Amino acid sequence: MAKIHVGAVVACGLLQGAACLPAQAQQADSASEGSVATYQFDNQVKLMSEQRTRGISDSLMRPSAKWSTQFVHASGLVALLEVAGVSKQQFVNGDGLGVTLAGGYRFGDPDRWHAGVGLATERFPGARFMAPHGIDLETGTPTDVRTTNYNSDFAVMELGYGIVEGRVLYVVSKTYRGADTGGVCGQILRFSIDPTAALQCYARGEQDSRGTVLADLNSQLPLLPSLLPSTTLRLHAGYQKLANFREGNFADYQIGITHRRWGLDWNLDWLTTNTNAHQLYWVQDGERIRKTDGDALVFSIGYTF
């Protein structure tokens, strides 16, 4: 069944540009001595105790890995390609990969007012699920079973001042990670003892989630630079408003610390969510039901080259 959340990392790579990238720059112009590089590539490999997106686990609370490439041009053009490991039990029938591709334009002063616009897509190769899009009210039998994928497309807008970044992702695809009548109502029906909430969901008729809004507020600042050099405190607050399905509305919060040592980024993050319908984030794992929206402490190590 569908999980209802999306990656904030899309906007970071797409719109924060150079502020998102470590200091290593690769000069790619065959310019004369004294010239300035006009663009920058950065690649990063990250190992994580689990992969989380907007506070929700994508890897079923198991370790994962991520590879990303970011490109920034002096003109303001930015791009991101990212591949992460996800759970095949959550993104069923898939290859166990989540692929993000984004591009856009950023302008302004990184130390003062700055803004950006762009487009992004999130793909889960092969992943799709089947769910009922209707229910027979007389017999309680699910009907109209259809197949839906988890792919999503977004328009992205950013506005920031200094170390504070505000960002909005607007879903332009028909569904957002498979959130339609079958994905949402069917998931509630599957895991609820009392079917009332699922029946109320189905009673609204056939719906999709185009128009979903994902809002984020992020900041990062040095943490006690005199005592803890190369250490950064990261703060995040987000809100998801799922179009046509209030059950999928929720807020998420994150506090993280990054310390750079031996050429590696050592990260420790605490994440929490305030989900509305917990059943949307439950996953059948053998004989157990795993709840992917619980609080988590996530450890990761990243290497940028």
Under the banding of pLDDT at 50, 70 and 90, the label for residue 263 is very high
Q: What is the pLDDT of residue 18?
A: 37
Establish if 206 belongs to a structural domain: yes
Under the banding of pLDDT at 50, 70 and 90, the label for residue 12 is low
* Average pLDDT of the chain, as a whole number: 90
Establish if 33 belongs to a structural domain: no
* Percentages of the chain per state (helix, strand, coil), in multiples of 5: 10, 50, 40
Q: How far apart are CA 124 and CA 128, in angstroms?
A: 9
What does pTM read for this prediction? 0.88
Q: How far apart are CA 169 and CA 172, in angstroms?
A: 9
In terms of C-beta density within 10 A (0-12 exposed, 13-18 middle, 19 or more buried), how is residue 112 classed?
exposed
Instruction: Look at the chain and report how many structural domains it folds into.
Output: 1
DSSP assignment of 233-258:
EEEEEEEEE-TT-GGG-EEEEEEEEE
Establish if 64 belongs to a structural domain: yes
Establish if 3 belongs to a structural domain: no
Q: What is the pLDDT of residue 19?
A: 37
Share of the chain above pLDDT 90, in %: 82
Establish if 258 belongs to a structural domain: yes
Range of the domain at 65: 9-27+38-304
Please, what's the b/e burial string for 243-272 (b: 16 or more CB within 10 A of its CB; e: otherwise)? bbbebbbbbbebebebebeeeebbbebebe
Share of the chain above pLDDT 70, in %: 88
Establish if 299 belongs to a structural domain: yes
Dihedral, 33, 72, 51, 248 alpha carbons, nearest 10: 170
Q: What is the pLDDT of residue 225?
A: 87
CATH number of the domain encompassing residue 64: 2.40.160.40
Question: Residue 171, Cα to own-chain centre: how many angstroms?
Answer: 13
Q: Is 228 strand, coil or helix?
A: coil
**Window from 1-10, 164-173, 213-222 with minimum mean pLDDT:** 1-10
Establish if 110 belongs to a structural domain: yes
Establish if 81 belongs to a structural domain: yes
Residue pLDDT, tens place only, 266-294:
999 999 999 999 999 999 999 999 999 99
Q: What is the pLDDT of residue 141?
A: 86
Residue pLDDT, tens place only, 18-54:
334 443 444 444 444 455 669 999 999 999 999 999 9
